[in-house]
Amino acid sequence: MISGGGTGGHIYPAIAIANAWKEEYPDSEVLFVGALGKMEMQKVPEAGYRIEGLPVAGLQRKLTLENLKFPFKLLKSLNQAKKIVKDFKPDVVVGVGGYASGPVLYAAQSKGIPTLVQEQNSYAGLTNKILAKKARKICVAYPNMEQFFPAEKITYTGNPVRKDILELEGKREKALAHFGLEEGKKCILILGGSLGARTLNQAVLKDMKALDKAGYQVLWQSGKFYFKEMLEKTSASGLKNIHLREFIREMDLAYAAADVIVSRAGALSVSELSLVGKPVIFIPSPNVAEDHQTKNAMAYVSHGAAWLLKDREAVGALKTKLDELMQDTAIGEALGKNIKELAKPDAAIAIRKELEKLVA
């Protein structure tokens, strides 16, 4: 049983773990448990797995009617989680973070079923810190996580990622054709997540004429929230080298086409980009708990494996940073080499091996 979700950063590692398990044990059953109304309820069935939904939700930062409902939703979710665990009888339960993982792992642990926590970030979330106390194993994506978890339970596996990211060799020509890009022009890939990142979008808007004039082409994922607004503004500009997309499904092709990548620093993005091995500028979101995106990015910046541009400085400073990278190929090559050295391409298999020990 695998529980958690809420964002792609939780869901895609969970699916990668399930895939690694099913490849080795095709006759075994895998059940996901997520939060009703969250993206896992769509993404997990699309990946071919069954999912049950809980009514659990998080606390809002301000006083709202939803916060008053929180205790009732939590209690209902705990009762449902107990029933799901009792009916399914899992041999082992994995929590990947997100609202659903709390009730499900608590239910499993209270029955003595072995549990494994997978922490994607360099700064552990509160739910995982609580669950880790009774978990048998904690798989982490960054070194030095002993400040959050008992050292004897930790295994440094890295974050599991989609398999197609591991296979970029020889895809550049196909990638350029797919996105309508030109050979011979440097390509900048802008990624703000599936919903979008206002700062990244505003930074590209401000600099898009200058980027076009400099001869760069920009493959730009604006995200669902901002696509309509960005489409209106780019259409009016008439710039042919700005290639706007609401969402990019073919991420392997996008990575293959890119010469430089500008991205938020969510856990999954950081792990994928380490496997891609190209120069990256991280612009961490300031709107996340414990500023964990900055901590994720700094784990790479401190190894000379990426650059960091602060969110408050990005609008107006992005092109300058991009010019520095484009004009000094030695810096770009060093960043690409260093980030690749931090990659953990076999993370899903490493986690599967830890699960095997728990059910042995």
* Residue 267 marked ligand-binding: yes
Q: Are residues 136 and 45 in the same domain?
A: yes
Find out whether 9 is annotated in a ligand binding site.
Answer: yes
Over residues 125-140, mean pLDDT:
93
Residue 358 is labelled as binding a ligand: no
User: Do 175 and 228 share a structural domain?
Assistant: yes
End-to-end CA distance of the chain: 16
Q: Was 110 annotated as part of a binding site?
A: no
- The answer to whether 300 touches 342, Cβ cutoff 8 Å, is yes
Q: Quick one: 150 and 248 in the same domain?
A: no
Q: State the residue range of the domain holding 237.
A: 164-341
Q: Is 272 annotated as a binding residue?
A: yes
Q: In this predicted model, what pLDDT tens digit does every residue of 212-249 receive, in sequence order? A: 999 999 999 999 899 999 999 999 888 999 999 999 98
Can you give the pLDDT at residue 58?
62
Residue 67 has pLDDT above 70, yes or no: no
**Which residues are within 8 A (CB) of 285 and not within 5 positions of it... i.e. 6 or more apart?**
197, 199, 264, 265, 266, 293, 311
Check whether 268 is labelled as a binding-site residue. yes
Q: Is 8 flagged in the annotation as binding?
A: yes
CA–CA gap between residue 85 and residue 102 (Å, rounded)? 13
Do residues 147 and 172 share a domain?
no
Same structural domain for residues 45 and 146? Answer: yes
How many domains does one find in the chain? Answer: 2
Q: Residue 162, annotated ligand binder?
A: yes
Q: Is 249 annotated as a binding residue?
A: no
pLDDT over 90 for what percent of the chain? 80
* Residues 249, 184 within the same domain: yes
d(C-alpha 120, C-alpha 270), whole Å: 10
Distance CA 63, CA 77 (A): 22
CA 251 to chain centre: 12
At 183, which CATH number? 3.40.50.2000
Based on the fold, state whether residues 61 and 174 are members of the same structural domain: no
- Phi first, then psi: give them for residue 217, nearest 5 degrees: -115, 140
Q: Which one is predicted more confidently, 85 or 165?
A: 85
CB atoms near residue 313 (< 10 Å): 13
Domain check: are 329 and 265 in the same one? yes
Instruction: Say if residue 141 is in the same domain as residue 207.
Output: no
Would you say 270 is a known binding-site residue? yes
Say if residue 128 carries a ligand binding annotation: no
The verdict on whether residue 7 carries a ligand-binding annotation is yes
- What percent of the chain stands above pLDDT 70? 97
> Residues 86-125: pLDDT tens digits?
999 999 999 998 889 999 999 999 999 999 999 999 988 8
Q: What is the Cα–Cα distance from 356 to 348, expressed in whole angstroms?
A: 12
In whole angstroms, give the CA distance from residue 65 to residue 297.
Answer: 35
